Chains A and B, each alone.
Chain A
Amino acid sequence: GAGVSQSPRYKVAKRGQDVALRCDPISGHVSLFWYQQALGQGPEFLTYFQNEAQLDKSGLPSDRFFAERPEGSVSTLKIQRTQQEDSAVYLCASSLRHPSTNEKLFFGSGTQLSVL
């Protein structure tokens, strides 16, 4: 596709449910990032993939959060036993190469997760 695609756009979950958020990066992009964004705030880093390798998962808030990118393209962010504090917009971004001084990130529109 022309840009980064995320699905679903909106997800409502009951507390305790598991959710899976999907990201389709721009074809051929090596790097893929997941961010969490609270309303009116800047994104917070969650995890980074270079191709299929998860090189940095230091931002994942707990072991309930899990991300994968098994074939180096599509990525899934899974949240188990959702809690109300997980409510946020989850953004996916990709870039053509590995991170550098001047590398450009392309963001998807995000998935807005609401946990009731």
Chain B
Amino acid sequence: TQLLEQSPQFLSIQEGENLTVYCNSSSVFSSLQWYRQEPGEGPVLLVTVVTGGEVKKLKRLTFQFGDARKDSSLHITAAQPGDTGLYLCAGVRVSNYQLIWGAGTKLIIKP
């Protein structure tokens, strides 16, 4: 069974601080996607990383795919209250391109 371990499960920090969320697996993925989900809504895709070692930036968010395509991280610089939400990683399986989801990181940024 392919698993994607996401950590931390919960993070509450002050506005302006930096943070990193991790997704780790023992399995290789075709690509890895990061989503953000607001209460009462479905997940919204933020980014897809495809190549081992790839780094993508989305304003204050930096996404990295591990060299071996087994792990990924999301780093937020100078967090803002608007960054509050549930962040989910999802690995795309090599065999059939279905998504394997992490359990999510609930992020709260306090003003």
B98 interface neighbour in A40, A56, A107, A109, Cβ under 8 Å:
A56
Q: Give the distance to chain A from B98, nearest Cβ to Cβ, in Å.
A: 6
Q: Which listed residue (B6, B41, B48, B101) contacts A43, Cβ 8 A?
A: B101
Interface residues of A in 65-116 (CB under 8 A from B): 91, 93, 98-105, 107-110
Determine if B66 is an interface residue (Cβ-Cβ < 8 Å): no
The answer to whether B42 touches A40, judged by C-beta atoms less than 8 angstroms apart, is no
CB pair A107–B44 under 8 Å, yes or no, is yes
Are A102 and B50 in contact (CB-based, < 8 A)?
yes
Select from chain A the residue with minimum beta-carbon distance to B92: A101
Q: Is B99 an interface residue (CB 8 A)?
A: yes
B50 to chain A minimum Cβ distance, whole angstroms, is 6
Size range of the chain B interface in the assembly: 20 to 34
Knowing A45-B98, A105-B99, A107-B43 are in contact, say whether A40-B31 is a contact too (CB < 8 A): no
A25 to B42, alpha carbons, bound, how many Å?
Answer: 13
Query: Could you tell me if A41 and B103 are in contact, using CB atoms closer than 8 angstroms?
Result: yes
CB <8 Å contact, B31 and A107? no
Q: Give chain A nearest CB distance to B111 CB in angstroms.
A: 23
> In the complex, A56 Cα to B98 Cα: how many Å?
10
Do the beta carbons of A44 and B101 come within 8 Å of each other?
yes
Tell yes or no: A48 within 8 A of B by CB: yes
Provide a sorted-by-A list of 12 A–B residue pairs whose CB atoms are within 8 angstroms. A41-B104, A56-B96, A91-B43, A93-B42, A99-B92, A101-B30, A101-B31, A101-B48, A101-B92, A102-B31, A105-B99, A110-B42
Interface residues of A (CB under 8 A from B): 4, 40-45, 48, 56, 91, 93, 98-105, 107-110
Known: A40-B106, A56-B98, A98-B97. 19 other contacts (CB 8 A): A42-B88, A42-B101, A42-B102, A43-B99, A43-B101, A56-B96, A91-B42, A91-B43, A93-B42, A99-B96, A100-B97, A102-B31, A104-B45, A104-B48, A107-B42, A108-B42, A109-B41, A110-B41, A110-B42
